[in-house]
Structure 1
């Protein structure tokens, strides 16, 4: 009898899963009224540029034809998310010129971390930690609600979300990679496993805080393969030195760095599962960006890209690192770190960030739910629970 039950379960389970997928595809999409994003430079649409120094050409050259505060030649994944959901590009929260927040706001800032770091902006740090970003959101929600009800003119209301829009918004997250990079830099001086657990705990507390503020739909990206960033690869960091066996994988990615990202991702997923059980009125979708990005890196040539270790904009040779758009004297010669002829053939824009072409490729594959848990397209992500 037990064998028959197991056999029936084995036969019917795929059918049930298939039915569930068909029901999802045929059901009505979520009626999201706004989009709020939290993150680092992977999704910063102008925060750091507005707060400190604006980007310079050739940043922004492909789509915007001018620098627009994005660490890419064009659009970021968050831009493709906004377009996919029918929203305009998100304005950075602190950008006061030419902004509209009617359909949401972007609190992401370049170099941001989940935990506070002992670094200044000039040392590659950011004052806009995840905790600060959620507090900015709290202030944004309170102040827009206060003035929205007092405003008599439509001019104000055209530029800000309605109080009821916050509960019907989708909240997206792409942060943690800089925390992992900081932990990598301190390997040997602290317990990396404990640090990663602490980082994930910090993340969970901020998600809980946003839930208290009324957020109900969460779309959470894990960390990408940090060991596959070209500036991390030995080919750009050593002079004719061959790495030891096992140091890199078949794509030239640094194994121990990717292993730390994988550990972070595993703990992040476990945290998401716990929050699902805690918040029965919320939807939390975990998105495996690591797998999506690594698939592109692994299949680069097949997908029409050059070798994933190549960098479109910048000078990274013989141990010298001159980042995109800058000039310097190297070995008695003035070098300008300009752009390649065709960014659409490159995965890496500046050695750290992705090109618009790569961002589009990744977005096209993750927005349909292929890398999500549960496997929901973003348009149906309010139905995760």
Structure 2
């Protein structure tokens, strides 16, 4: 006859195994293995672009890159972007042919699409009316990439554009919310995100072999403006690198530029501590803010389905 201790251990072990089985049934993510992405291909605006803009249109100048690279590195920030934290920095690595079907495809879009409307003299209503067409074109592009072999998609929604200094400077009469952000412009961003999420639901039906993760970047970024002190930040509505006005931003001279004041040339440099600032140059985020956002979204806590970045190849 077995001793009570051994019997008790076996019962406990069986109960533990039942708990694991029950947990994996309720949360299928627990039973998934980490994905082995050999490469990440990113499609996005300057919030996630790591050099295409500089290579083709506008070369960034100091103090861009000062925090991490110690020189401009094609990023519209003082250092790294979210995509850098996702894939590391491999400047000389060229993808092999079989990487394209195994890679993770990331998308970070929306801010430029909305900004083009706002700065093209469109009304709020007109920008809203343009969103379904913008999202439809995005869906077509995702399908085209899928047809070329892509299977794993990690898609960010757009951030709170109404919390950025370049909006305040150009649309000073916009109504503000309780945190100082331009409410109507954030409402447009949320309408864009609503349409994007619906489009992704349809894409999952149209592309049954794809693993498509929708990531709510908006909520994470907005939290930097609603409770910055809780996360170690300060002056979230004020640009770190800029010149002019209460938000340290002017459309006439940008970060790294020069301006003549009382006959003297002034270089537009950065603030003393970019590590505690949210906004870098009135449009983009600091490295510290980018890392904060990455740390939050990589867990899957803001994803639909709620799957972490390292498991984004799974279709659940």
Verify same fold: TM over 0.5. yes
Shift of 1:100: 2.5
User: What are the Cα deviations for residues 158-213 of structure 1, in whole angstroms up to 9, with x where unaligned?
Assistant: xxx1x222111110001121111122233339733331000000100000000110
- Tell me if structure 2 keeps the 8 A contact 1:58–1:324: yes
Matches within 5 A, 1:152-231: 161=96, 163-185=97-119, 186-188=121-123, 191-231=126-166
1:376 to 307, 310, 315: 307
| Change beyond 3 A, Cα 1:53–1:277 | closer
* Cross-structure match for 1:45: 50
* Cross-structure match for 1:120: none
Secondary structure of residue in 2 paired with 1:316: coil
Secondary structure of residue in 2 paired with 1:199: helix
User: What are the Cα deviations for residues 20-57 of structure 1, in whole angstroms up to 9, with x where unaligned?
Assistant: 57542453101212211111101111112222442211
* Cross-structure match for 2:66: 61
Shift of 1:304: 1.3
- Tell me if structure 2 keeps the 8 A contact 1:344–1:355: yes
Secondary structure of residue in 2 paired with 1:54: coil
* Cross-structure match for 1:156: none
Point out where structure 1 has 5 or more consecutive residues left out of the alignment.
Answer: 1-14, 84-88, 92-98, 103-160
Secondary structure of residue in 2 paired with 1:220: strand
Higher relative contact order, chain-length normalized (CA < 8 Å, sep 6+): 2
User: What are the Cα deviations for residues 78-109 of structure 1, in whole angstroms up to 9, with x where unaligned?
Assistant: 000113xxxxx255xxxxxxx3323xxxxxxx
User: What are the Cα deviations for residues 89-144 of structure 1, in whole angstroms up to 9, with x where unaligned?
Assistant: 255xxxxxxx3323xxxxxxxxxxxxxxxxxxxxxxxxxxxxxxxxxxxxxxxxxx
Alignment: residue pair count: 293
Secondary structure of residue in 1 paired with 2:98: helix
Quote the Cα distance in structure 1 between the aligned partners of 2:212 and 2:110: 17
Shift of 1:19: 4.0
| Change beyond 3 A, Cα 1:101–1:203 | same
Shift of 1:262: 0.5
Give me the CA root mean square deviation: 2.4
* Cross-structure match for 1:267: 195
Q: Does 1:311 align with 2:239?
A: yes
| Change beyond 3 A, Cα 1:60–1:199 | same
Runs of 4+ residues deviating >6 angstroms = none
Secondary structure of residue in 2 paired with 1:315: coil
Using structure 1 for the length normalisation, give the TM-score: 0.71
Point out where structure 2 has 5 or more consecutive residues left out of the alignment.
Answer: 1-19
Q: Does 1:355 align with 2:289?
A: no
Using structure 2 for the length normalisation, give the TM-score: 0.86
Secondary structure of residue in 2 paired with 1:272: helix
- Tell me if structure 1 keeps the 8 A contact 2:24–2:30: no
Secondary structure of residue in 1 paired with 2:73: coil
Shift of 1:336: 2.0
* Cross-structure match for 1:334: 265
